[in-house]
Amino acid sequence: MIYDHLLVRYGELTLKGANRKMFVNQLRSNVKRSLMPLQGYKVKANRDRMYIELEEGADIKEMSQRLSKVFGIYSISPVLKIDKTMDAIKEQAIEFAKGYNDGDTFKIDVKRSDKQFPYDTYEIQREVGGAVLQGAEHVSVNVRNPDHTIKVEVRLDAVYIYDEVIPGAGGLPVGTGGKTLLMLSGGIDSPVAGMEVMRRGVTIEAIHFHSPPFTSEKAKEKVIELTRILSAHVGPIKLHIVPFTTLQKQVNKVVHERYTMTSTRRMMMRVADKLVHQIDANAIVNGENLGQVASQTLKSMYAINHVTSTPVLRPLLTLDKEEIVKKAKAIGTYDVSIQPFEDCCTIFTPKNPVTEPDFDKVEKYEDGFDFEPLVQEAVDGIETLTITKDYQSDKDTETQALADDLF
């Protein structure tokens, strides 16, 4: 089938009265970015839907696939724009039906917004349905539960006809909801947390704490790969890699063993907080989940959270692990996340961390040393990468070999 347009339906945008124009403009630019560098199309965004005009040779499959990842899109259909005549509609409907399998069922679904069109909805349905039955004898009608629905939209400018609806990612266009800093480990949870906030229109930058030589280049590569998967939805994502070894060692030196994990998390939070201000973001996002591990009890969250007044968003807070795993699989990060690479926290995890850390105690331990210069040093040492979905890291093989030797 040679389609000439992709019809893009907006999701919740319809609800956003006054902001609608801004949302549509943002979605239009996100769509254009997601289609780059493909050729052969023109984007026309109206108030209520978007048409992507296709030139000959446009790769519809690739385009639809990319668009299905763009937040703010409810669904996509490859469509044909045809003459506003009954004959043209019949002819095209028959063309669709010819492609169906033997014994398949169909129905005709009509939307008629041009009230001047000489046939009403029911007449179109009946006439087109009849024509299909005659023109493609191997199919039959089933209005309740058809294998195929041929949709006919009679609009002011033309008739649009299609029989395929590809689900979109839903949510809101990224760029309409402010910016956050995502704490991205190599685990299962944090990439999912990032996706959850992006779905609501929020832009993310990511921060990763790296502790060489305790964590290897491979662990870093894994985080880059996760960022790459996320960026397929939203375009380039900045990934800030923090040199965390010095801070972590210092924590282990001055803080009581049972409290090192709480304190390490607090240091992460302090670094993240400084970066939030630097990049002009409004919140920190992490993959914490209530009760999952020692660092994620309410008391622990209280002690960790206390070092910042920046809102900390925890989109996975109340989900069950199976639900998170399901989401991770759906977004394609799961297989990367389960690769067995060390992360900086597991390496330093004490045998017996406190699950209900006393907030006063951790502060008392930390008072024994002025961490502020080290926190600042970590921030100053940040390496920032811009990750796109086609990102190729130019791995330094020497460093890689060195890191490998250490394990």
Q: Which 166-225 residues touch Mg ion, going by CB under 5 A?
A: 185, 187
How does strand 283-285 pair with strand 179-183? parallel
Question: Considering the rule CB under 6 A, would residue 7 count as an interface residue with ligand ATP?
Answer: no
Q: Which 151-190 residues touch ligand ATP, going by CB under 6 A?
A: 183-185, 187-190
Question: Considering the rule CB under 6 A, would residue 297 count as an interface residue with ligand ATP?
Answer: no
Nearest residue to the partner Mg ion, using Cβ:
187
- 224 touches 356 (CB < 8 A): no
- 407 touches 212 (CB < 8 A): no
Number of residues that bind ligand ATP (CB under 6 A): 20
Which residues are annotated binding-site positions? 183-184, 208-209, 265, 287, 296
- Using the minimum distance from each CB to ligand ATP, give the nearer residue, 34 or 211: 211
Nearest residue to the partner ligand ATP, using Cβ:
187
Burial class (CB in 10 A: 0-12, 13-18, 19+), 375: buried
Identify the three-state secondary structure at position 190: helix
How does strand 179-183 pair with strand 203-210? parallel
- Using the minimum distance from each CB to ligand ATP, give the nearer residue, 255 or 313: 313
Radius of gyration of the chain (CA): 27
Cα–Cα distance between 315 and 284 in angstroms, integer? Answer: 11
Give the one entry of ligand ATP, Mg ion, none that residue 287 binds, where binding means its C-beta sits below a cut-off of 5 to 8 angstroms depending on kind.
Answer: ligand ATP
Cα–Cα distance between 384 and 290 in angstroms, integer? Answer: 31
Identify the three-state secondary structure at position 364: helix
| Least gap, CB of 294 to ligand ATP (angstroms) | 8
- Using the minimum distance from each CB to ligand ATP, give the nearer residue, 100 or 209: 209
- Under the phi-then-psi rule, with left for phi > 0, alpha for psi from -120 to 50, and beta for the rest, what region is 68? alpha
Give the one entry of Mg ion, ligand ATP, none that residue 30 binds, where binding means its C-beta sits below a cut-off of 5 to 8 angstroms depending on kind.
Answer: none
| Least gap, CB of 285 to ligand ATP (angstroms) | 7
Binding site for ligand ATP (CB under 6 A): 183-185, 187-190, 207-209, 286-288, 292-293, 295-296, 343-345
Binding site for Mg ion (CB under 5 A): 185, 187
